[in-house]
Structures are given as C-alpha cells and as structure tokens.
Structure 1
Amino acid sequence: MSATVEVYTWSTCPFCIRAKALLTKKGVEFTEYCIDGDEAARAVMSERSHGQRSLPQIFINDQHIGGCDDLYALNSANKLDPLLVG
C-alpha cells in the first residue's frame, strides 16, 4: 500500500512546481490542493501545518513534512522513500 500524499500549492509558485516534479519523478500519486487566492483553504492548510502559511505544504499520511526544501532534504538523506511506502 502506498502512502497518502497531499500537497497544497499555488499554481505559479516555483517551489510548488519543484516539489511536485520530485514526487512525479518518484512515481508518487498525490492529491494537489491548488489554493490560489482561496483564503479559507489557506486557513485549513495553515491549521494542519501548525501555522505555516508558505507554499507548498506537504503531508504524507497526515504527517506534516513541510515545504519544498524539507521534501528535498528528506530525499537527500534517503528518508523520503520509506515514508512513501505507506
């Protein structure tokens, strides 16, 4: 069983595009919440991410991973793949 991956994004955000590219390269299916201008959705994201409002915000199996740099750091440390197994 694979992990449930959710990504909150802004459509033109370069960090969002980069994070999605890494997940796609790894063959990960993810749910994207594009929240362009949707303050209600951003408030939900912020609550889930313990106050973080920057984008992207990434969750794996409801665990807050952080943003793009955090995702790439996990990958570099060989800690991302085990999270993606589910």
Structure 2
Amino acid sequence: MSDTACTAEGKRAEIAARVAQEFGLSDPAGLSDEDRARVEAATAAALEAEAVPPASPELRRLIAEYRALKELRADEGNARLAEEGEVFAPEDDA
C-alpha cells in the first residue's frame, strides 16, 4: 500500500478512482467537470451510506479501510489529548 493510500484522503482518492472505473470512466483527475462531479457525488454517497453497502466487493473493502483510517485518526487524537491531561468524554461533544 502506498503512503498516500495510508491516509484517509488517499483512501478516499482510491475510492473515487474505483467509483469512476465502475462508471466506465478514466482516472478522476482527467475527467470533465460534469463527470468529476458525478464521481464525487457517488463517492460521498458511498462513504456516508452505512445501511446500503456497495455491490462491488472491492469498493466495500476500500470503504472499510477508509473508515478504519478515520477512526484511527480520531483514536490517535484522543490518545494525544489524554497524554496532555485533557479530560474529555464523547458526551462532551454534544
């Protein structure tokens, strides 16, 4: 896995590329504005849709990896705050 794919942003780009491929399109960077918007909307919808998993096993795997990276980043942030003596609880965010 490349360094870029190890970040949530890199994984999101990988997901967008897979979505573009499923639409029969090329790399998202080379798409028209209209096609890029279509891919971006489908990518955002796939990442936000907890209840309806994509049909593609590859896309499901990429989305699971993306969510794991986002969770890891949140966990690292919480660990840093705890090391600094910051008192926090999820309920405090409400």
Q: Same fold (TM over 0.5)?
A: no
Task: Point out the structure with max Rg over C-alpha.
Answer: 2
Q: Which structure has the highest strand share of the two?
A: 1
More helix by share: 2
Higher relative contact order (Cα pairs below 8 Å, separated by 6+ residues): 1
Normalization by structure 2: what TM-score?
Answer: 0.26
